[in-house]
Amino acid sequence: MNRNRIQTLEKRALVVFHDLLWVPLAIGLAYWVDSGLRVSVPLATPGYLGLVGLALPVYALTFWFFGCYRGVWRFASLPDLMRIVKAVAIGTLATDLLLVILGHLTVIPRVTLILAPVLLVVGTGGGRMIYRVVKEEWSHHGRESRKRALIVGAGRAGEQLVRELLRHREFAPIAFVDDQSDLLGHEIHGVRVLGSLANLPALLAQLDIDMVLIAIRLIPREKLDQILRSCAERRVPCRTIPSGVELALGRVEGIPLRPLTVTDLIGRDPVTMDQTEVSRWIQGKRVFVTGGGGSIGSELCRQVARHLPALLTIVDHSEYNLYRIDQQLAREYPGLIFNTLLEDVTNRERMDWLFEKAQPEIVLHSAAYKHVPLVEDNPVSSVWNNVFGTKVVADCAVAHGVSHFVFISTDKTVNPTNIMGTTKRLGELYCQALKASAPTRFVIVRFGNVLASVGSVVPLFEEQIIRGGPVTVTHPEVTRYFMTIVEATNLILQAGALGREGDVFVLDMGPPIRIQDLAESMIRLSGFVPGRDIRIEHIGLRPGEKLHEELFYQDEKLRQSSHPKLLLARGNVLDLEVLERGLDHLRETLLAGDQEGVIRLLKTLVPSYTPRVDAEGSETIPHLSP
């Protein structure tokens, strides 16, 4: 038996001894009161020893039955006291019943029968409360040496946070701020509400605060930015309590605090999915993921693994990315049956062979070139990968009887101004055309930028801030829709499970975020002041970029799906034969190396494609290299 286990048993034995010692003490005190507080009351007062002999084993059983020894004295609270009251009440009834059966009830004074249980509750419960008070006062000793914390939010989460902080030695809670005026001047566990968020800058200086702790589960972006401004000016770091999702996943231990992240800057509640529906869709199925080593693809693989597929086949053409997801799945899901395959989705022969071997029932097609400026500079490779890679995988899915095919698209497909969005739009059109003529259920999932994904703006800003700036923003008014990687993968799987409801699924992502605001907030999040410590530089829109993205075409008929945060769109479906003739022409042009011809054909196949016009009024033509 290890030392910790022995110490636990020793502490529990002391608690049991304490409670049982109070049984004869409470009965003796009750007798003493009944005798008029005469000191000369002998121990052998009639009925005393018999009552103690009956009561001890009965109360021992009821204390154990009602869980009086599960609680920790240092954290003793009202639920612990209620358990003691219940145990004493039932124990008293049982003891009185035994006295009646034995015919000894008339020997015991009435005052003793009534007063002894009350004294027993006071003694056993009071001991716990005194211990807690002493421990907390001891933990407060040396408070000046702890970090002085100001808490934003005096609601339930703030109360729980203060209670937790008072039990630890890291922080000394000094004050609250809260915008609810009726809380001003009130105290919570001895910590006073001293003002609203508007008073935060002055309070940081007056109270010499070392840390700001945000105790609001979902704080609006505007308020968070206000807090970050005040903290950055005073060089005071911030932490926050975890979200409800993090708590549900068990990601938090000890004091419920973590550093603020970019995800907090979105300022909205992350969208969750119906796990039961998704699990029913995936469990026991053979799942095939392309681009499975990328930011979205690898998270898709992790999500799928949780739902116990019969087989998970992962395809990627990046050796390093494939190695990483292979190692992670092997470590975290030892019972998962999966294959990691280094393949090119544009190779029809290899894809046919893989589909024949894996026999997938569900295909999640994530493989694509997605970085807009790089795709602009490399149109041929991008069209091969994004258009014909999608065509190859979709054709294989139909040929091999795949039940569900989920195509991962982007908001840049709507009225595209770049080649990336145009190639993904062609993928959408091809999947919609196939759906009209094939038994495979094709589903398209369209969403905005993914926070912290490879090649996105967030890692770039983080790197620039670490270097001391400048942080480069293309245009002061440019906006984008943002979502987290987990949200994106949740959306993909939820849409796949609901695929019978429509063609194109789009997440309701709330209002778009101004990139300038995101850059300033990230600088403050790092403890700096924008413009003073780190400069923001506007470099102009890059090739293919536009100021504001869109989520739907005007002619797409919108309706609500069964999921409250998923919208459905259904547009005009092209004739498959006509589209295939156009794609054949596009393939011939690619093979001929005619990059300008490729751009012209993209405009023909996707009439909504309009290359961005530069300052001189001419179209921004992709850089052409031999």
Q: Which of 1-5, 250-254, 308-312, 461-465 has the lowest mean pLDDT?
A: 250-254
Q: Taking a C-beta distance cutoff of 8 angstroms, is the pair 443, 406 a contact?
A: yes
What pLDDT, on a 0 to 100 scale, did the predictor assign at position 369? 92
**DSSP 8-class letter at 388:** I
State what percent of residues in the chain have pLDDT above 70: 84
Which is it for strands 211-214 and 147-152: parallel, antiparallel or unpaired?
Answer: parallel
406 pLDDT exceeds 70?
yes
Q: Taking a C-beta distance cutoff of 8 angstroms, is the pair 599, 621 a contact?
A: yes
**DSSP 8-class letter at 361:** S
Q: How far apart are the first and last CA of the chain?
A: 74
What pLDDT, on a 0 to 100 scale, did the predictor assign at position 615? 35
Give the domain ranges of the chain. Answer: 3-139, 144-260, 280-449+483-508+555-605
Q: Which of 2-6, 276-280, 415-419, 512-516 has the lowest mean pLDDT?
A: 2-6
Helices 515-525, 457-466: crossing angle, 10 deg rounding: 40
110 pLDDT exceeds 60?
yes
* pLDDT per position as a tens digit, 296-319: 999 999 999 999 999 999 999 999
- H helices present in 372-452, as ranges: 372-377, 379-383, 389-399, 419-435
Q: Taking a C-beta distance cutoff of 8 angstroms, is the pair 184, 199 a contact?
A: no
Tokens matching residue 118:
């009350």
Q: Taking a C-beta distance cutoff of 8 angstroms, is the pair 427, 446 a contact?
A: no
473 or 76, which is more confident?
A: 473
Dmax (CA) for the chain in angstroms is: 116
SS3 content of the chain, % helix, strand, coil (to 5): 50, 15, 35
- Mean pLDDT within 32-49: 67
pTM of the model: 0.68
Q: Which of 128-132, 201-205, 357-361, 492-496 has the lowest mean pLDDT?
A: 128-132
Fold of 144-260: Rossmann fold (3.40.50)
Domain boundaries 280-449+483-508+555-605, corresponding CATH code: 3.40.50.720
For residues 617 and 99, what is the distance between their CA atoms, to the nearest angstrom? 103
Cis peptide bond upstream of 607, omega within 30: no
Residues 6+ apart with CB under 8 A from 454: 294, 295
**One fold for 144-260 and 280-449+483-508+555-605:** yes
Confidence of residue 27 (pLDDT cuts 50, 70, 90): confident
Q: Is the backbone of residue 340 left (phi > 0), alpha (psi -120 to 50) or beta?
A: beta
For residues 277 and 281, what is the distance between their CA atoms, to the nearest angstrom? 6
**DSSP 8-class letter at 387:** I
Helix (H, G, I), strand (E, B) or coil at 184: coil
What pLDDT, on a 0 to 100 scale, did the predictor assign at position 367? 94
